[in-house]
Amino acid sequence: MTEGKKIITGRAFKAFGFLLALVAMLIGLYFAFAPSRGGKNASARSYDLNRIFNERDHSLDALILGHSGVYAGISPMEMYKRYGFTSYDCSQALQLPWETYEILSDVLAVQSPEVVVVETDHFFYDSKSVIRRNNNKRLGLSVYPFYETHVAWKDGFDPSARNALKGYMYTDVSRPFKGDCKMKPSDKKYKLGKRHEKYLKKIYELCRERGTRLCLVELPSLVMWDYEKHNTIREFAETHGINFLDMNERYDDTGINWETDTRDGGNHLNYRGAVKASAYLGEYLKDKYGLPDRKDDPAYSDWREDLNKYEKTVR
């Protein structure tokens, strides 16, 4: 080997060694700052979701799963404050049904809720662009896991701490919806994608196997939802004997005001909308599933502490 080739080879080995050391360091930092327990991909896009594993085992009465509409529109602490039962938002942006199934499977290993609430709009996330964006983000985070923890690392965030907001993401931004606030009636049905329908059925079967009840819910949304989707989910719910609550049929009952209660022109709710939607959903779950009031239970004193932290945040 010539002297020049030896120099090039040596530099290549040094560069390779440096890359190995860098990858090892990043993986070490990831595990140092990641939550103590978690599902296979539960932390891919949301620390708040993954911090459900910091809750005491078998302490949650309800789980709420779905896409960003859940963490924007349902506040578990509002439901605890009003009705006393415990719950957690297991949701991420662009969450797809197979992710919901995976997360639910992992969470049910340590929790035994009375009811699993699944938001239904994410079963219609079937455009190739949405699935591609979701898959690219999952792939990127699996290759570069430190990316998902760098914000927490920079801010000194402790991922092993309990999340006082229970997966809810607070915002008081208000951007009103302009237009007709009523869904147009239709007898048509939206055709579910094969994989989406498969995982809706798998979620239903998983709940049956684990001895918990499934409730399908659609949160108020004027942008993504319509009667064709409603009819498809209603048919599935009736066929399988489960409850389906579509809040888009009940604006008058929920008190949602699209001038003030949405953060982005009718797609997601803001804090004012979330308070109303949570109150309505909480009463529905309490009545339908007999969820317990834990407010005076000494075993749940940590929830009273979390409620104080929550109220400071939303104030």
Contacts of 131 (CB under 8 A, 6+ apart): 96, 125
Output the pLDDT for position 184. 86
Residue 203 has pLDDT above 80, yes or no: yes
CA angle (85, 206, 225) in 5-degree steps: 70
Residue 237 contacts residue 152 (beta carbons within 8 Å): no
Q: Which two tokens stand for residue 60?
A: 């949650």
Domain ranges of the chain: 34-314
**Which of 65-74, 141-150, 264-273, 294-303 is least confident?**
141-150
DSSP state of 262: B
Contacts of 147 (CB under 8 A, 6+ apart): 140, 141
Q: Which two tokens stand for residue 269?
A: 């709710």
**Average confidence score pLDDT of the chain:** 84
**Which of 19-28, 114-123, 263-272, 305-314 is least confident?**
19-28
Output the pLDDT for position 34. 47
Backbone angles phi, psi at 130, to 5 degrees: -65, -45
Measured CA to CA, the distance from residue 91 to residue 103 in angstroms comes to: 9
Measured CA to CA, the distance from residue 11 to residue 130 in angstroms comes to: 42
SS3 87: strand
The CATH topology of domain 34-314 is Rossmann fold (3.40.50)
Containing H/E element for 35? none
What does the pLDDT look like over 220-262, one tens digit per residue? Answer: 998 889 999 999 999 999 999 999 999 999 988 999 999 999 9
Residue 4 has pLDDT above 70, yes or no: no
What does the pLDDT look like over 70-127, one tens digit per residue? Answer: 999 999 999 999 999 999 999 998 899 999 999 999 999 999 999 999 999 999 988 6
